[in-house]
Structure 1
Amino acid sequence: MYLNCHTYFSLRYGTISIELLVETAVKLGIKKIALTDINSTSAIFDFVSLCKKRGIEPVVGVEFRVDDKLQFICLAKNQEGLSEINEFRNKYNLSKEPFPNRVPSFLNVCTIYPLECNEFVLNENEFIGVQLHEIHQLYKYDYKKFVVIHPVTFLDKLGYNLHRLLRAVDGNCLLSKLPKSKEAKEHEYFVTPDELINHFKNYPELVENSKKLISKCDFIFKFDTPKNKKFYTTSKADDLELLRKLTKDGLIKRYGVNNKEAQSRIDNELRIIDQLDFCSYFLITWDIIKYARSRGYFHIGRGSGANSIVAYCLEITDVDPILLDLYFERFINPSRTSPPDFDLDFSWDERDEIIDYTFKRYGADYVCLLATHVTFHYSSACRELGKVFGLPKHEIDELVSSYRENPSNSYTRLILRYGKLMEDFPNYLSIHAGGILISEEKLTNYTSLLAMPKGFVIGEFDMYTCEDIGFAKFDVLSQRGLGHIKDTVDLVWKNKRISIDIHAIQDFKDDENIKNQLKKHETMGCFYIESPAMRQLIWKLKCEDYITLVAASSIIRPGVASSGMMGTFIKRHLNPETVEYIHPKMEELLFETYGVMVYQEDVIKVAHSFGGLSLAQADVLRRGMSGKYRSRLEFDKIVEQYFENCKRFGYDDDIAKEVWRQIQSFAGYSFSKAHSASYAVESYQSLYLKTYFPHEFMVGVINNFGGFYETEFYIHEAKRVGAIIELPDINGSNLLTDLKGNIITLGFIHVKGLEKITINQIIGQRNIRPFSSFDDFCKRVYIGLEQMIILIRISAFRMFGYSKKELLWETHFKVNKKNTLQTSELFYVEDVHYQLPSLYHHPAEDIYDEFELLGFTLQKPFLLVFQKPNCEYFASNLSTGIGKVIEILGYLVSLKPTRTKKGERMFFGYWVDEQGEFFDTVHFPNATKMYPFRGKGVYHLKGKVCVEYGHCSIQINWMQKLPFIVDPRME
């Protein structure tokens, strides 16, 4: 009889988790129960799975509402019924039309209408629902087709209060102004079956009708069968044959002929891939990559998929699993508890086209993006509740920042109490970072679809449910690092007619020039290895090869660094003969990494071979420490099993605890070895381009507006590698930055306040013919005075030989405040240039103009310093001052805030000196408090030069931001 139960996936309405709903039903002795979340199917499969485990028969459906008004409740008789419900929802979800008052002629769905619809002529599968508060109206109806509807929305009074708060949050209104029409009835909590029957004791027909209705519904679902598209071709045998042929072609390209080890690995992988029905998964991934290449797009294959030599031969990844001794079972094995997936990175501006291709290639009815549920964090819940109770913003900010333990204000106490209850409640559906599902059957068999802003549709369940019901997702992701690689390759072809196969990574790894570039830590602009911390690590490791860079990509992760194991790895890498292993078994397992768990594979190896866990348990452990577990209880049991096994194996307790500490510190943050290798591949591709085509590379980085640093410092880096940088120019600049020879001309996009319509006019007119004079520009480009002034101040007219001030005078004569003076082209009008007295110009004026309009200057910012102190030290001679307190001038590049073990705030600083070279500083808590940072600018720094593994940094004990001279125009 429980035909209308809600979970908190009835967003900002329900208050009960799926687990609590099922557990409460068990306690009340309920044998069959229907989940009907409001306009949502998100919770269905978790609900069904949990019901089966707890011995309850699940029924699934949807409660349809329009603007908080109940239209009807639909219950699926079977899986076909769920598909009908989803098809119906899709029609209105995707068209944005409201749901109608009546449902179509469903074959496998029972529909329950509210009592006010009693005048409907009902078919066999349609009923009228009666709630507790409506019993007194039954005397006036013929209730042959009536059933009992008792909505379940909360468990008690506390839940009812929480429900009302959620409704106020949803309506963005004060709780006191919440309309009753938006609330559930106060009696919508669980009652026992006997109580419910007792309420309707005078109407036994309704109870009997309800039992008959729910008996018609029997939702059976097979969780353990694959749901992905079965075949890429027309059969499993053809898929395997095609996969074998493509792999053989790739084998020759990657390894040459007669490589027996590679062939052996391929044979083994193909056997497992075929056994576990993953042929089509590999072929679909290959097809997506093939399309991308046909469009000239670049990609990186990341994640554990890079453990596969088949993926390497198909060029899904560029990671050689033989070189790195990667084992395929990390990606696919019969014991793995979660489906594998390929992570495919494309350029940020090309990803949408790849997704669009996937939808068109495999059919809109079979493809969707994966959803993710954005949940209420404690702070966001408290903030929303603060609005509901009418607190002013400053009080909400104070409340959220402090979380007072003993608040005196009653509203504040309520906010903190209910904020905690709301924590982790789903708030709204969003798009997963890159997950795509490609289904064998229509997606409506599993979910309804929702349209998102870019036009792609998403399902209503997340990655965990996706895995549970048998889908292996495809992750199509984006990043700007690939954008600058693509743009660089295109620019090299355009300027030098040199074609680059950027995926020929095997040709880069042993290149001595690239090794030297890496050894000198000249990595600015290179994906993942350009940050100050990574450049320091490369320096300390004396890294000059691909293998070491793979390790560096993992040990730079936060958990590894904070555990102290990064320092341990560096020390052991530089002095391998001094390594002492905590246990002989650890030496056997981790000899390659000097006894340090560098990769996720190391965690699995140690948990399995040292801790005695099964491979399946070890994988759950890895996922749990990455925050990806579904069941905390399952995870805790595995931890308990680890320590029991260690005791059984006779390990010393301290050794078992230390190994567990290392597992904890690494598992949550480290990459899989294949993932680290994938990052290192992209780093090497960037290094190759920077080594051999530095100017094109820096233009590619600048034009993709991504990376660790601001555009200013990539422009500075372009200067360091020999390029000449020019300000935007009306006859030489486009929207983006351009390169001709070794001259880089900044694009108009960098000029603040310059409107797109202005840029389009300039480029459009210049494409007809170049501008011959300032007057020629005024006649042909119709823009307002403010836009003209911006162009003059950024020196865009400098080729005509007039000073800025002369042009500013003339533009006020020749341009009105809205448009340039339009002159008919039918008559030649001689250019007019006014004779002006000599106008004083200070060089600092140009620097200030650049700062204002670009956000940086192409000149040295040190030129603006008022009374610049004389310092003898620069980045180049820091090593001569080791152990000494020195003074140096630095222009702030970036800051990395962190906290000590005591929770005190400190910083790592990165600077450029007067010679254009970079150096590092450390600001411990005392120095941070006494000499705080005061924003961007030039600083006078004093501190002790320290050295660690050959890398010099300055431990700051005094710092002062230096004042700039006043803009001469302001005096």
Structure 2
Amino acid sequence: MLITHLNVRTSYSLLSSLITLENYLSFAKKNNLKNLAICDNNMFGVYEFHTLCQKNNIKPIVGLNVNLIYNNQSYNLNLFAVNQKGYFNLVEISSTIMANNEKINKIELVDILQYFTTGLKIIVNYTSDNYDQQLFTFLQSKLENPNNLYLGLNNNNLSLLETFQKIIPSDQIIWNNKIQYFTSDNFAAFKMIDAIKTQTLFKDNRLTDNYAWTDVIKDYALYFENITKFIADIEQYSLAKGTVIDNLLQFPTPENISAREYLKALCKKGLEFKKGKMVAQKYLDRLFYELEVINKMGFNDYFLIVWDYVAFAKKNNIYVGPGRGSAAGSLVSYLLDITTIDPLEYNLLFERFLNPERNGLPDIDIDFQDDKREMVVEYLFEKYGVDHVAHIVTFQTIGMKMALRDLSRIFEIPLDEADKMSKAVKIEANFDYDLAMQSNNVLSFFQKKYPQLFLYLKELVGLPRQTGTHAAGVILTNQRLQTIIPIKEGYNGIFQTQYSMNYLEDLGLLKMDLLGLRNLTILHNIIDEVGTGLQQKLAIEKIPLNDEKTFALLAKGDTKGIFQLESPGMTKVLIEMQPDKLEDIVATSSLYRPGPQENIPLFIQRKKKQAPITYLDQRLGDILAPTYGIIVYQEQVMLIAQLVANFSLAKADVLRRAMGKKDATIMNEMQTEFMQEAVKNNYTLTIAQEIWNLIAKFAAYGFNRSHAVAYSLLGYQMAYLKANYPSQFLASLLSNVIGDEVKTTDYLALARQNNLKIVAPAINFPADRYRTVGANIHLPLLVIKQIGYAFFNKILVEFNTNGPFKDIYDLFIRLYKKGLNRKTYEMLVFSGALDCFKLSRTTMFNNYQTIVNYLELIKVEEQRESLIVDQTLAEQPTLVNVPDDEVFIIEKEYECLGFYLSNHPLKYIREKEGYQNKTTLIKNVTLAQGTTNLLITIRRIRVISDKNNKQMAFLDCYDESGEISLTAFAGTYQDHHEALQEGNILLVNIRLGTYQDKINGIINRIKLIGKQGE
């Protein structure tokens, strides 16, 4: 029978153990272990471990491995919590180490000694090199119970046993070997992760097989038995310290008035501002009700905290979304300007957001423009202090792609082969070894070539590799963070939690999501561009919601770049829907999901009066009329339960939630009441049952209307800007994808389709983002490769200080010592940025050395970042203008920008070879053609095996007008596989079809024209 070990590292000791928590529990069950310990050098896995043990009736022993310094000597200790007091001492100790010394993971004993005295059992792991009884004696003098101090015996310090026996009773000498894997069979895989961690080669790794669970030395059985006694003293305890309300930060109200009264005053002020002094009674009633619920549930401070940081953002010109999630259903949120959706106007329900009958937590997620989100987090940090604000940790786990690259490095496999293996893993199989290997010819080939690489690969997949930061979540606490949860070093001086987001609510912490949304940045940039270029001050919240140009744009499917509406499927629905009001967009975004999609045709038919609108019972008409008799929203389920069975909206939300989760217990309990109340309410038993069945079906996939309205409004705003300010819209889209060559190409094509002229970057129009002048969109200098922010800023300062660059010599004189060198000059020349100097690009580039030589002649003095010149010292050389070769210039331009700008090689070939009338542009392809000829370049190719185990290929192709997916079946691929390579230019004949609402094609015939860049 196996013993329980104490000094167990789990995979949360990153790249130092193969023991995942899942495997740990399985191992315990298989070997009938009733106690399990965790003793990592952090507390990342503690809560998850504790929870799993309790669920499986196993006693969890929570420990922490610590490297501390005493009298300038380093020692290793294991600290185990005896009770809850001891656990929170571990939290303080781990936080102190991880928040200040995470990388070296060592700390002076004096810095954490105050947490040693109570609630802990301590094991000192001496080595023969660092044995010094002073540490042991010192700790004995500090502990309230000296019997809680032990000496650890392990495989590496057996020579010290005799010394230990002289200074301490034998029952305080305990077997404490470090455990990092289960059996010796795991040793090779363990060496692999150690080589990855230490960035060494596998062949150079000198580890010995010394850390397996099953390695037990019988001669030391007495010290194994002491583990049982050690464990017996440890209590069962909770890891939570108070509730969410206990731990929630208290908002600092002015003049110390109560949070309740301050919130009430702000709401009254907001109501008067938004609705005037004569307010409809329904608003007063709703406000009173919401404030009562918020106060009863203890969330006054929460609303004030959110109100405050949203107000900060808006005061500082940081764009905030109109709302997100169920929070848009709250009138209080609207009056505080947290959301901009009037919930009464849109029939949104507060109970869907905050329900007193199920004691849910408020969840106000806020979208901020993504390039300024961190300013809001920093505001919280400054306002509430370093010990009260934290980001949330995430863990990056090793997938197949990463594991193959890591193992290739430690086994010295060539980089190009590592790349092929990694690319052969499908995204959906990245964390599933068996799925990744299934029918994968590439991996099968390399498995035979490098068997040692694949032998232990499966053991590495899924291991945590490193920590990251949750993109949105922030924790705010009233007490010091480290008195509630373990924390670690973060970035920008802001701590991170050591526990991931899945466990924070259970521990009494409320997560606030501050999300960065790219579309808000785009929206902000468009409005800025309208303001600077057109001198128009545009208030997005005041645009008309019935703009004909906007709905015409959506109805014709011109949705690229529009938030949530640009997918091919959504575009197709909008074309069929022909929206003419915001509610149509709300319905489209709610229906276009798995499940509800089947109702789209009927919805459209009823909207267009091509099908009758029917109801199970006419009394449902008011609720379902806006959606033509079809249940689309969760709120409609709630309203029907209220209408039919007199359920309160809070109880209706409990029902809606139970139906959505298919909770049979709650549904059975509530169905009886629903039926009884419906009959009392003059519904027949048959109709009541049919209504129950109807809402049960739709509750499972009905959409949150509050979220749909808020996000549809944002989508409408984007569509409005595109319809009314197309050049500013496209310029902002392009600015947001600088560096993404594929999307840049797409958006430039869209700009041209909208008759917008694209102007090359220009040295005398220095911009860091795309700018508009009338119907022209000017490329920024920053889009040019090799032109980074440092050089760009020097160009900008020089331009703003001394005016435009007059000629090529003036450019060199002013910039040569400020970042202008042969490479950056080449990029400026061939991107077109120097065309203003009226010389061919070839002439400018070929005379680089001539101009540099001229600089040397006129140089008077050379300072660190500038030249002092006297142009009278030498005559400017005359540059002979050499004509440009068009094909060469096209390809050099592509090299500099990553996309084609002034011309396109396919357009050039099409015109030169006379293919205009023999081929179709991709953008003009229609299914009605049946077959057609295309002149295309292959962007990506994916080769697979068909059902007959023959190779075929899927190709992503493009021309100067757009993209298309093509398929080469086995016969075609076999005959033309040499031509079917990325970058090749082909003339193809294809048979047209569709897939996922997009036109695609099957290749019939192929002619190789050339290769991109040649």
Structure 1 residues 586 and 316: alpha-carbon distance in aligned structure 2, compared to 1, 3 A threshold: same
Contact 2:61–2:231 (CA under 8 A) maintained in structure 1:
no
Aligned to 2:844: 807
Shift of 1:296: 0.8
In structure 2, give the amino acid aligned to 1:711: T
- Give 1:375-774 correspondences, 5 Å limit: 375-377=397-399, 401-403=436-438, 424-504=462-542, 507-557=543-593, 559-560=594-595, 570=604, 573-574=607-608, 577=611, 593=627, 598=632, 619=657, 666=701, 672-705=704-737, 710-754=743-787, 756-767=789-800, 768-774=802-808
Q: Residues of 1 paired with 2:697 and 2:89: CA distance?
A: 51
In structure 1, give the amino acid aligned to 2:869: E
Aligned to 1:124: 143
**TM-score, normalised relative to structure 2:** 0.76
Of the structure 1 ranges 797-806 and 167-176, higher mean CA displacement relative to structure 2 is found in: 167-176
Shift of 1:170: 3.8
Aligned to 2:317: 296
Shift of 1:438: 0.4
Q: Tell whether 2:875 aligns with 1:857.
A: no
Aligned to 1:628: none
Structure 1 residues 896 and 688: alpha-carbon distance in aligned structure 2, compared to 1, 3 A threshold: farther
In structure 2, give the amino acid aligned to 1:739: T
Contact 1:725–1:744 (CA under 8 A) maintained in structure 2:
yes
Of the structure 1 ranges 817-826 and 853-862, higher mean CA displacement relative to structure 2 is found in: 817-826
Matched residue SS, 1:731: coil
Structure 1 residues 617 and 811: alpha-carbon distance in aligned structure 2, compared to 1, 3 A threshold: same
Aligned to 2:271: 251
Of the structure 1 ranges 338-347 and 934-943, higher mean CA displacement relative to structure 2 is found in: 934-943
Aligned counterpart for 1:798 among listed residues 821, 824, 835: 835
Q: Tell whether 2:137 aligns with 1:112.
A: no
Shift of 1:298: 0.3
In structure 2, give the amino acid aligned to 1:801: K
Q: Residues of 2 paired with 1:378 and 1:733: CA distance?
A: 44
Matched residue SS, 2:719: helix
In structure 1, give the amino acid aligned to 2:249: K
Q: Residues of 2 paired with 1:896 and 1:602: CA distance?
A: 47
Q: Kindly report the root-mean-square deviation, in angstroms, between the aligned alpha carbons of the 2 structures.
A: 5.6
Aligned counterpart for 2:247 among listed residues 214, 224, 227: 227
Structure 1 residues 243 and 326: alpha-carbon distance in aligned structure 2, compared to 1, 3 A threshold: same
Of the structure 1 ranges 929-938 and 710-719, higher mean CA displacement relative to structure 2 is found in: 929-938
Structure 1 residues 775 and 570: alpha-carbon distance in aligned structure 2, compared to 1, 3 A threshold: same
Structure 1 residues 874 and 736: alpha-carbon distance in aligned structure 2, compared to 1, 3 A threshold: closer
Shift of 1:817: 12
Matched residue SS, 2:65: strand
Aligned to 2:915: 868
Aligned to 1:832: 876
User: How many residue pairs align between the two structures?
Assistant: 929
Aligned to 2:681: none
Q: Residues of 2 paired with 1:570 and 1:620: CA distance?
A: 30
Deviations, residues 489-537 of structure 1 (Å, cap 9, x unaligned) = 2222223333222234xx4322333233333333333223234443333
Shift of 1:369: 0.8
Aligned counterpart for 1:141 among listed residues 166, 187, 193: 166
Shift of 1:284: 1.0
Aligned to 1:631: none
Q: Residues of 1 paired with 2:635 and 2:22: CA distance?
A: 34
Q: Residues of 2 paired with 1:615 and 1:751: CA distance?
A: 54
Q: Tell whether 2:822 aligns with 1:785.
A: yes
Q: Tell whether 2:290 aligns with 1:269.
A: yes
Q: Residues of 2 paired with 1:6 and 1:339: CA distance?
A: 35
Aligned counterpart for 2:42 among listed residues 34, 40, 56: 40
Q: Tell whether 2:211 aligns with 1:184.
A: yes
Contact 2:183–2:212 (CA under 8 A) maintained in structure 1:
no
Deviations, residues 262-288 of structure 1 (Å, cap 9, x unaligned) = 333332222222221122112111111
Shift of 1:672: 3.2
In structure 1, give the amino acid aligned to 2:482: T
Q: Residues of 2 paired with 1:144 and 1:893: CA distance?
A: 77
Q: Residues of 2 paired with 1:463 and 1:894: CA distance?
A: 39
Contact 1:18–1:46 (CA under 8 A) maintained in structure 2:
no
Q: Residues of 1 paired with 2:687 and 2:953: CA distance?
A: 40
Q: Residues of 1 paired with 2:465 and 2:339: CA distance?
A: 37
Structure 1 residues 840 and 456: alpha-carbon distance in aligned structure 2, compared to 1, 3 A threshold: same
Q: Tell whether 2:905 aligns with 1:885.
A: no
Contact 2:9–2:40 (CA under 8 A) maintained in structure 1:
yes
Q: Residues of 1 paired with 2:21 and 2:48: CA distance?
A: 11
Contact 1:82–1:446 (CA under 8 A) maintained in structure 2:
no
Shift of 1:379: 6.7
Q: Residues of 2 paired with 1:595 and 1:928: CA distance?
A: 52
In structure 2, give the amino acid aligned to 1:72: L
Of the structure 1 ranges 488-497 and 591-600, higher mean CA displacement relative to structure 2 is found in: 591-600
Matched residue SS, 1:457: strand
In structure 2, give the amino acid aligned to 1:273: I
Matched residue SS, 1:682: helix
Matched residue SS, 1:437: strand
Structure 1 residues 14 and 719: alpha-carbon distance in aligned structure 2, compared to 1, 3 A threshold: closer
Of the structure 1 ranges 768-777 and 576-585, higher mean CA displacement relative to structure 2 is found in: 576-585
In structure 1, give the amino acid aligned to 2:168: Y
Structure 1 residues 231 and 738: alpha-carbon distance in aligned structure 2, compared to 1, 3 A threshold: closer
Q: Tell whether 2:361 aligns with 1:339.
A: yes
Matched residue SS, 2:247: coil
Structure 1 residues 958 and 591: alpha-carbon distance in aligned structure 2, compared to 1, 3 A threshold: farther
Contact 2:154–2:176 (CA under 8 A) maintained in structure 1:
no
Deviations, residues 680-713 of structure 1 (Å, cap 9, x unaligned) = 2222222232233332222222222279962233
Shift of 1:354: 1.5
Contact 1:730–1:796 (CA under 8 A) maintained in structure 2:
yes
In structure 2, give the amino acid aligned to 1:313: L
Q: Tell whether 2:275 aligns with 1:241.
A: no
Contact 1:336–1:619 (CA under 8 A) maintained in structure 2:
no
- Give 1:892-931 correspondences, 5 Å limit: none
Contact 2:366–2:513 (CA under 8 A) maintained in structure 1:
yes
Of the structure 1 ranges 568-577 and 650-659, higher mean CA displacement relative to structure 2 is found in: 650-659
Shift of 1:869: 3.6
Shift of 1:908: 11
Q: Residues of 1 paired with 2:693 and 2:461: CA distance?
A: 33
Q: Residues of 1 paired with 2:189 and 2:624: CA distance?
A: 54
Q: Tell whether 2:403 aligns with 1:373.
A: no
Q: Residues of 2 paired with 1:939 and 1:607: CA distance?
A: 62
Contact 1:79–1:220 (CA under 8 A) maintained in structure 2:
no
In structure 1, give the amino acid aligned to 2:728: E
Of the structure 1 ranges 347-356 and 692-701, higher mean CA displacement relative to structure 2 is found in: 692-701
Structure 1 residues 351 and 897: alpha-carbon distance in aligned structure 2, compared to 1, 3 A threshold: farther
**TM-score, normalised relative to structure 1:** 0.79
Structure 1 residues 592 and 57: alpha-carbon distance in aligned structure 2, compared to 1, 3 A threshold: farther
Contact 1:146–1:209 (CA under 8 A) maintained in structure 2:
no
Contact 1:15–1:162 (CA under 8 A) maintained in structure 2:
no
Matched residue SS, 1:288: helix
